[in-house]
Structure 1
């Protein structure tokens, strides 16, 4: 017995469904998706700039404009629905954020979400998207930069003068306390009068005026640029137990800054002093803006083999790398911009990248001297991966006029070395070694080349 044949209405519905199926099969992923799904929202506040990142499973399309009274940045995101993940952004902005006063989120139109960032100061926002990289999917990034950039060299000098004034006040307070104690000392009993010996005249004090070269050394402020690698969106290498490279190197760099700042006539500048991302060319630019005498980039990288261990020091190479490992390391570090997220559409990106190709043989020669001094000292703290300074094409070492080295303090991928890097005592040993190497370099190579007197 055959089943009953469908009627005309049923046949019409079946034909319509088949046609719809053909259309659906012809559509791509973008056309099928009703909207993007947010994976994560992140906020990276810092004095230099605040970054907000929206990570999603597909590319987000946005429009934005600035508004006044009150000052705010308005961002409309197409193809996105209001979700609990997006509402998390409101709670991620803290009261001490230098740029964002608050965030408001709403469904402005169907499939269009509006973000409103209430701003604390005039900003020059940059909005851009990033392709999937490392562990990240598609990212929409908006960076809030100040309209007027502060003079870092002036800030460094003011900071030094303030520290010296506080130190002088502390000495005066201690001296006053000592004099007060002396004044309260009981007077000893009087002794019988006797013959008084004539006073012995003190030798005359001859004021000698220092030579111009000596005076220049005295007046000269030595500036060391310290560059803690990675930061913000870029965690760097991650150890077996979860220790992040960006956290370790920031801790070491801040300790080293304090150590160098305690040296007379020396001041250290950090390319980042918190957990935020700094592009490679911007790290170089920061060092040049303060007219740094040295540039030391601090890292704690990982290798494919977890047994790899030991510290290394690298300088720039105008030719090929001195080893396959050095070439691999340079390639990995140079990829930091991709992971951290650089706005390649920014106006100055082409100029800054051209600047990174201005390396000179004189800079490399001085960098090798600096690297040798530092390597000799950190070799006393722990094992060395290589007993000589290696060379490769590290983008962050390409300041044309500043001796620059990159120090791999240890392999964070090695469980034993990761444990050492976590230890504050071991970090302090590294700091002592780095500071000694830097001072030994200056002792043999006095920094007399800067034209601007501080």
Structure 2
């Protein structure tokens, strides 16, 4: 009996040792940490060998954020983290008394932490994402002037009232609202354009054969687009992101609405498995789905960004009348889509002058970033980053400038033909309408074809009337309109 009891005791010790070894073998390792600083938050991502349980909380005096990870070891040099432009002043780590990893973030301002985990995908292993939001901060570095925003608010309210009158079958009311808007003094506001560089942060987008990331080249192009608009009287642009950080797809459209944007353009670079396809494409929203199998696949792949970023949301229509909601949404969306398609045609025409077009007409797909019912929106695929030749072009500052100019000229051409009632462009048009000399003064970004088209004449007639030997115009030049 004693011998049997000893054998049992020995077996138990062996089993306990085996369990201990098994528990150690199952400990999760943090093998990388990545940090991105945005104007309104900082995101810290832990790349791990497996899933973990995490507890995130704050401490005062001094302000700290504590991240406790159960059964976790650290295999990363935290000194590699770049804390510049973030609320995190220092990162400290240690082993908890109960086991596991403790990460302490010393912060220099008030933060509101939130966290979530993400399962492995094609790009990353298991991840813990910790976002430190800055209460009251804006996601946009250069917010639109509040006076311009107020003017845009008044204009949207008037347009909505007119739409409701049409939905109610009351044309006289609609005409009265339109007359009231026209009777107001011209504030000559700027037309506001939201320029959206796709992807960002832990979502690199597509990658080229030479390792070029989509998120980097589209940010460079988007900055050039913004610069062109800001150089043009009557326009002002802002970027939904101006750095290497992630913004959710719904958040991008929300930023555009908060900034009272008149137009939204999202800049991307295409990619497929084959290295052969090349050329630019332009997409507008489709209510009934994509217009081709390629467009449907592309829409689905782009929308996967929200799975990478861990963001979700729904467009709210709570501010619209309950009874008229369906009708208003249909009317508004139809008008918005018509403007999007018309502008898309202008952008595609400009892109075709500098680059091969992958699609000769504006495609339509269900991209999340295009789903603002009241903001005309486009998604521009500047080229195929998966094509070695186009990858090299997309990295070229000169080619980026040409792409930016094409996007800019296409959008400007649309607004010169259809300026918002309270805009500087509308005032300029109205001033020209009453001019006996039929003269037009060239603005920044004007092309001969745009001026001719906006006045309903051909380029040949316009050149003959002004004795022009070339298509080149200079800012301030006065043209006679026959």
What is the TM-score when the length of structure 2 is the normalising length?
0.72
Q: Distance in 1 between matches of 2:9 and 2:205?
A: 56
Q: Distance in 2 between matches of 1:430 and 1:217?
A: 33
- Listed as ranges, the matches of 1:2-81 within 5 Å are 12=7, 16=11, 20=15, 33-81=25-73
Q: Pick from 301, 310, 318: which aligns with 1:342? A: 310
**Could you say what secondary structure the match of 1:409 adopts?**
strand
Q: CA deviation at 1:156?
A: 2.4
Native 8 Å contact 1:100 1:117 kept in 2:
yes
Q: Distance in 2 between matches of 1:420 and 1:436?
A: 20
Q: Distance in 2 between matches of 1:324 and 1:53?
A: 35
1:288 has 2:257 as partner: yes
CA RMSD of aligned residues (A): 3.3
Native 8 Å contact 1:224 1:267 kept in 2:
yes
> 1:51/1:365 Cα in 2 relative to 1: closer, same or farther (>3 Å)?
same
Q: Distance in 1 between matches of 2:54 and 2:139?
A: 33
> 1:147/1:244 Cα in 2 relative to 1: closer, same or farther (>3 Å)?
same
Find the counterpart in structure 1 of residue 298 from structure 2.
Answer: 329
Unaligned runs of 5+ in 1: 1-6, 161-211
- Listed as ranges, the matches of 1:367-446 within 5 Å are 367-446=340-419
CA deviation string 1:216-269 (max 9, x = no partner) = 666211100000000000000000001110000000000111111001121111
Q: Which moved more, 1:47-56 or 1:33-42?
A: 33-42
- Listed as ranges, the matches of 1:53-452 within 5 Å are 53-81=45-73, 83-85=74-76, 88-94=77-83, 96-150=84-138, 155-157=143-145, 219-339=188-308, 341-344=309-312, 349=313, 360-448=333-421
Q: Which moved more, 1:311-320 or 1:212-221?
A: 212-221
CA deviation string 1:37-76 (max 9, x = no partner) = 1231101112221100001111121112211111111121
**Could you say what secondary structure the match of 2:253 adopts?**
helix
Native 8 Å contact 2:222 2:267 kept in 1:
yes
Unaligned runs of 5+ in 2: 149-180, 320-325, 424-482
> 1:153/1:19 Cα in 2 relative to 1: closer, same or farther (>3 Å)?
closer
Q: Distance in 2 between matches of 1:295 and 1:409?
A: 16
Q: CA deviation at 1:19?
A: 9.2
Q: Distance in 1 between matches of 2:341 and 2:126?
A: 40
CA deviation string 1:7-28 (max 9, x = no partner) = 967993799389949x97xx9x
CA deviation string 1:336-379 (max 9, x = no partner) = 1112x2245xxxx3566999x96722211111011011000000
> 1:414/1:151 Cα in 2 relative to 1: closer, same or farther (>3 Å)?
closer
> 1:438/1:427 Cα in 2 relative to 1: closer, same or farther (>3 Å)?
same
**Could you say what secondary structure the match of 1:37 adopts?**
strand
What is the TM-score when the length of structure 1 is the normalising length?
0.76
**Could you say what secondary structure the match of 1:442 adopts?**
helix
Native 8 Å contact 1:321 1:327 kept in 2:
yes
Native 8 Å contact 1:71 1:120 kept in 2:
yes
Q: Whose radius of gyration is greater, 1 or 2?
A: 1
**Could you say what secondary structure the match of 2:192 adopts?**
strand
Q: Distance in 2 between matches of 1:98 and 1:65?
A: 18
